[in-house]
Amino acid sequence: MPFPDVKLANRPLHFLYLCDCSGSMAASGKMQALNQAIRQSLPGMAAVARDNPEARVLVRAVRFADHAAWHIETPTPVDQLEWRDLHAGGITAMGEALKLVAAALQTPPMEVRALPPVLVLISDGQPTDDFAAGFEALLRVPWAQKAVRLAIALGHDADLEVLQRFIGTEPATAGRSPRRPLQASNATSLAQYIQWASTAVVGAASMPASRVSETPLEPAAGNIPLPDLPPTVLDLTDDVGPLVW
């Protein structure tokens, strides 16, 4: 006879992409690279979601150029997610994007109980609107304070200072260097970072992984110990020369 048909208690894990779609993203195939990187990461993300039954992984995305708008507005289970291409054009309303996310992280619409949300900000340039106002609005929301915030800088023109403010300035803890924005200088590293954020980080936020004595048991600032970054796997065979920004 079957085991009783009981449902495991779970909590939502909101995962939000904030994607820079400014005109500069059209250069050297950056926009296509980002679309590809996210699309390619979805099966792995779905697998992690399956392996973590305590979490209900729900994905949303915001695009920002002249204005910020929802690209995926409904929190969508990963296995039902279809990534429509983002298109580049306009300036960089990053502050507005943060306000949009701030509103979405209010309770309601946010659930009363959840896992820490994961926010991934991807940008190749400087905000053209009031970043500070948007960021303040975001940090007034408790769920945003609790969120795991990651930033990926695309190419060399990204505003690292702004991205660093977004992820927070965590002091260097024993054995760990302070967190920095991830710098993707080509399509391969972008894909690796997106994969890391959507799998390893989602895993860490939804169900704890094995701890080693070196990971501080009490996380200093962030409330989720971040997993190691992917190792630099050398491309020995198919070095087709990825796009370099």
Partner 1 sequence: MNWILPEGASLGFEGLAAPLQIIRGLGGGTQGQVYEVDLEGERLALKWYLPACIARDGALERRLEASIRATAPNEDFLWPIALLRASPASRPLIRLRQESFGYLMPLRPTAYVGACEHAAGRLAIGLRQVLRACFGLADAFHALHLAGLCYKDVSLGNLFLEPGSGGILICDNDNVAVDGADHGAVLGTPGFMAPEVLLGQARPGADSDLFSLAVLLFRLLTRHDPLKGQMELAIRCLDEPARRRLCGEDPVFIFDPLDDRNRPDPIEHAAALITWPIYPRPLQALFEQTFCRGMKQPSRRALTGQWKQELARTLDRRALCPACGQENFQASGAPALCWSCGAPLPEPITLLLPHGAVLAAPDNELHAHHFDALAGEDLRRPLARVVAHPQDHRRLGLRNLQATTWSAETHDGRVQPVQPGESCSLAALARIQSPAGPIAVQRPTRPSPAA
Q: Please give the radius of gyration of the chain, using alpha carbons only, rounded to the nearest integer.
A: 18
Task: Tell me the window of 20-28, 61-69, 90-98, 228-236 that interacts with partner 1 (CB under 8 A).
Answer: 228-236
- Using CB under 8 A, pick the residue from 82, 109, 177, 228 that binds partner 1: 228
Return d(Cα 182, Cα 153) in angstroms, integer: 6
Nearest approach in angstroms of CB 66 to partner 1 is 34
Task: Tell me the window of 48-56, 91-99, 123-131, 164-172 that interacts with partner 1 (CB under 8 A).
Answer: 48-56
> Which of helix, strand or coil describes residue 59?
strand
Return d(Cα 126, Cα 159) in angstroms, integer: 5
Return d(Cα 194, Cα 122) in angstroms, integer: 9
Site track 180-219 with partner 1 (rule: CB under 8 A), x = hit = ------------x-------x------xxxxxxxx--xxx
Asked if residues 191 and 36 have their Cβ atoms less than 8 Å apart, the reply is yes
Site track 106-135 with partner 1 (rule: CB under 8 A), x = hit = ------xxxxx-------------------
Site track 130-159 with partner 1 (rule: CB under 8 A), x = hit = ------------xx--x-------------
Sequence-separated (6 or more) residues with CB below 8 Å from residue 160: 153, 180, 181, 183
Return d(Cα 215, Cα 226) in angstroms, integer: 9
- Give contact residues for partner 1 (rule: CB under 8 A): 1-9, 11, 44, 50-53, 112-116, 142-143, 146, 192, 200, 207-214, 217-219, 223-225, 227-228, 230-237
